[in-house]
Structure 1
Amino acid sequence: MHILITGAAGFIGQLLAKELLNDESHQVTLTDINEPPIPKGVKYPQNAKIIKANLLSDNGVASVVDKSLDAVYAFHGIMSSGSEANFELGMRVNVDATRSLLDALRKTVPGVRVIYSSSQAVYGQPLPEIVDDSITPTPESSYGAEKIICETMINDYTRRGFITGFTLRFPTISIRPGAPTAAASSFLSGMIREPMNGKESIIPIEDRSFRSWLCSPKTLVHNLLFTLTLPADALPRHIRQINVPGICVTIQEMMDALAKVGGEDKLALLKEKEDPAIKPILLSWPTRFDNSQAVRLGFKRDTSFEEAVVDYVESLKEN
């Protein structure tokens, strides 16, 4: 398969590219506004093509879309708190660039499979205790609103036969390696990652019972690859969104997992300091989902957050 990954310099793009480039049968085009690297240690680096491109320009889109594409993972975007801080930038990168990409795809390679990365941020309060697929999203952030706009485009472009789209609403991914991001949820990786690297981490909400809906990187990649094989008619043509399975974890449970796997001394590097800009965004998000549809379709879920911490520690050893 020839697979295009947009936003390929980002964490999820690199994680997925690594798996794809360990399979000889895939040709992978990696594109981003900054030149994305080929992940280190892959078996078939010669199967990767690197393109630095701005999807907001006609030339940029034309450089990454061609008739040989079998599938596209759309990961480009500005994260939650970044979109809230800069409305114009968020709309351009998250919405305008996505529409530009979809239009190029429908004209050049009609019917191509598009796997679009959305988020639980599409939801806003009031919400039931457990969110299922029947709940209408009412976002309380610009990021969530931008994601809903793109979800609607994926639905309509699929209904009309322009593409074969699937929208995956990601839980918060934890634990992400690397530097903190502009996401409001960034601390949910940082509170494990930073102490494990001997650094201090700020928790922007002073409530250890605060719950988050999380998914490990390992499980996310499994589900991203699985979506390549999902039958086109697995969902109605005009309803293409799937809530990717996650697990509900409190701040206290995350701290307990850090202490158990990394050692009690790591807790001293956690500082709880409420952030009045981030707290409302966090409180607007759902914390528990009924993932019956996704599980029925064949998606996988994590068994525990402690397992995610163990996976992260093992990845540090590998690197």
Structure 2
Amino acid sequence: MRIVITGGFGFLGQQVADALLERRALCGAPIERLVLADRFVPAVSTLVDDPLVDVVHGDLSEHLEEIFVQPVDVVIHLASAVSAECEADFDLGMSANLDTTRALLEAARAQSAAGGPTPRVVFSSSVAVYGGDPALPLPPLVSESTLPMPQTSYGTQKRVCEQLIAEYTRRGFVDGRVARLMTVSVRAGKPNAAASGFLSGIIREPLAGLPAVCPVGPELRVALASPRRTVEGILRITEVERGPGGLEGGLPVNLPALTVTVADMLDTLRRVAGDAVADLVTVAPDPVVEAIVGSWPAFLDNTRASALGLRPDESFESVVRAYAEDHPDAITAERLQGGAGESRGRGRGDGGAGRQADAGRGR
């Protein structure tokens, strides 16, 4: 089996690659090659040392012929420009998110038409496809049957890509699957241009002894998922078979969400890391960020994901402690209260985590 991860050196791309290399198999078949495609490849990465890994370095749209020169069985499409930069630069978002995704689907379609395998294309969408309209506000609980009405360029681009994947799947060109990601927190590495990046930064930076700014009011409710749960969800949607007991219908799957307020997050930081760490966070609301993040739903029905065996994080405290376990070198405090954060983790570090355009970073 030959698998391609776009945004392969982004934070999630590295996490998914790690999981696949640990398994050495997917969908019951051995992995023969794992292709990591990204605009930014770190100078040092243990991923490239694995004999199964090939690297495609550069803009994805310019390297599709190289990627598909050999049969591709699975594409996990994580590459994306993120929310705030899409809002600031409309053309960038349309090119990086919409045009590149359509070009990828066309390359997959061409492989099928030439008699090759029909690729399984897994697309990382976002809860940002939802949004409240004054004439049709969001219901209290959002599910996959809720009408998506995105209120940002990023959410609109993700929604259009979802529809393209559904159409290419209906026509038999690809076997498309859509995983709608929640905001991923806590992400390791450097800050990025996602509007939701502060939902990692207000935890990650203080734990590293650095100040952080919270650009929203503490009362804001958000839907979160840890990196562990997000990777678990992406791989489950990749592997599950279609039909009863598996992936039924053409609807996307909303990955499970843990709903918390920003105040809950800051209280958790204070409880597990102490006052000195928590006091490094300054609340300074930014109306632009509040408008973007506040347009996303906070309460989601997890029924469809639950039927696939997926579950949300138990608590935000468990999320913080998992981050400390996976990235102990990023914690400057001697220990988290309660004894967590002392064990050595499994992560590879941030790699190219400061990069954006093809890094598959989430919202």
Normalised to the residue count of structure 1, the TM-score between the two structures is 0.94
Aligned to 1:56: 61
Are the equivalent residues in 1 in contact too, given 2:71–2:111 (CA < 8 A)? Answer: no
Alignment map for 1:99-138 (pairs within 5 Å):
99-109=102-112, 110-125=117-132, 126-138=137-149
Contact 1:7 1:74 in 2 (8 A): yes
Alignment equivalent of 2:175, drawn from 144, 156, 164: 164
- Give ranges in structure 1 of 5+ residues lacking alignment: none
Residue aligning to 2:156 = 145
Q: 1: distance between equivalents of 2:42 and 2:163?
A: 28
**Structure 2 unaligned residues grouped into runs of 5+:** 25-29, 329-343, 350-363
1:191-202 correspondence to structure 2 within 5 Å: 191-202=202-213
Moved more, 162-171 or 289-298: 289-298
* AA aligned opposite 2:233: N
Give 1:248's aligned residue.
259
Please tell me whether the aligned partners of residues 21 and 44 of structure 1 are also in contact (alpha carbons under 8 angstroms).
no
- SS of the residue aligned with 1:277? helix
Shift in alpha-carbon separation, 1:211–1:298, aligned structure 2, 3 A? same
Could you say which structure has the greater relative contact order, defined with CA pairs below 8 angstroms and 6 or more residues apart?
2
Which shows bigger deviation, 253-262 or 283-292? 253-262
The residue identity in structure 1 corresponding to 2:324 is V
Choose which of 219, 227, 240 in structure 1 pairs with 2:229. Answer: 219
**Percent identity over paired residues:** 38
Matched, 1:29 2:35: yes
TM-superposed deviation, 1:53: 3.0
Superposition RMSD in Å: 1.8
Residue by residue over 1:236-259, the C-alpha shift from the partner in whole angstroms, topping out at 9 and shown as x without a partner, is 55x241101011011111012112
**Could you tell me which residue of structure 1 aligns to residue 196 of structure 2?**
185
**Alignment partners' CA distance in 2, 1:267 and 1:184:** 21
- After superposition, what is the alpha-carbon deviation per residue over 1:23-77, rounded to whole angstroms, capped at 9, x for unaligned? 333221000122367853x6971110011132233xx111112443221100111
Once the two structures are superposed, the pairs formed by residues 233-272 of structure 1 within 5 Å of their partners are 233=243, 234-235=246-247, 239-272=250-283
Q: Partners of 1:56 and 1:115 in 2: how far apart?
A: 17
C-alpha separation in 1, matches of 2:177 and 2:241? 10
User: What is the aligned partner in structure 2 of residue 70 from structure 1?
Assistant: 73
1:5 corresponds to: 5
Give yes or no for contact 2:220–2:262 (8 Å, CA) kept in 1: yes
8 A Cα contact 1:55 1:100, kept in partner? no
Give the Å deviation of 1:118.
0.4
1:46 pairs with 2:54: no
Aligned partner letter, 1:257: T
Taking the aligned partners of 1:303 and 1:43, their CA distance within structure 2 comes to 34
> How many Å apart are 1:226 and its aligned residue?
1.5
TM-superposed CA distance for 1:299, in Å, is 2.0
The aligned counterpart of 2:14 is 14
